[in-house]
């Protein structure tokens, strides 16, 4: 039988993600989901870029993190080369949270408005928040 309890929230998330460019481009930097991208660290970047394109990150950051974990845990590899040939240290804490220091306003706000609860923080440290 279908598990409506899983399928319906899944569909809602899917629809939100798929229509994201529509309402994201309406012009605000704090879109409907209410999360905040800017941090002092991101302000200081010469090119305001993530490790991959925003559209890829938005849709697939969970897959990227999963690959990163496998690289470290299974293959002992700690360097990631992105699509543009740029290298990054494979580290949730040093790399992702090096720029996204506002986990509460960024990761958590988006996750809680979509009802996603990654259970990574029992083991991995959260960044020390530095707000604008």
Which of 36, 82, 91, 112 is the binder for ligand HEC (CB under 6 A)? Answer: 91
Q: How many CB atoms lie within 10 A of CB 35?
A: 19
Work out whether 104 is an interface residue with ligand HEC (CB under 6 A): no
Which of 110, 69, 116 is closest to 93 using CA atoms?
A: 69
Residue 105 interacting with ligand HEC (CB under 6 A): no
The sign of the dihedral angle between the CA atoms of 74, 80, 82, 85 is negative
- Residues 23 and 98: their CA atoms lie apart, in Å, by 28
Does position 82 interact with ligand HEC (CB under 6 A)? The reply is no
Site for ligand HEC in 8-47 (CB under 6 A): 13, 33, 35, 37, 42, 45
Work out whether 7 is an interface residue with ligand HEC (CB under 6 A).
no
Figure out which of the listed residues 8, 40, 93, 131 binds ligand HEC, where binding follows CB under 6 A. 93
Residue 77 lies near ligand HEC (rule: CB under 6 A): no
Residue with tokens 């941090």: 39
């Amino acid at each position: 039988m279908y598990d409506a309890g899983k399928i319906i929230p899944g569909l809602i998330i899917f629809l939100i993600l798929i229509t994201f460019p529509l309402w994201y481009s309406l012009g605000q930097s704090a879109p409907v989901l209410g999360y905040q991208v800017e941090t002092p660290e991101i302000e200081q970047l010469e090119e305001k870029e993530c490790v991959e394109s925003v559209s890829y990150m938005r849709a697939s950051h969970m897959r990227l993190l999963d690959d990163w974990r496998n690289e470290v845990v299974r293959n002992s590899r700690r360097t990631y080369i992105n699509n543009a040939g740029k290298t990054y240290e494979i580290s949730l804490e040093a790399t992702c949270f090096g720029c996204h220091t506002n986990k509460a306003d960024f990761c958590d706000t988006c996750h809680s408005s979509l009802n996603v609860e990654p259970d990574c923080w029992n083991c991995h440290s959260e960044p020390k928040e530095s707000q604008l």
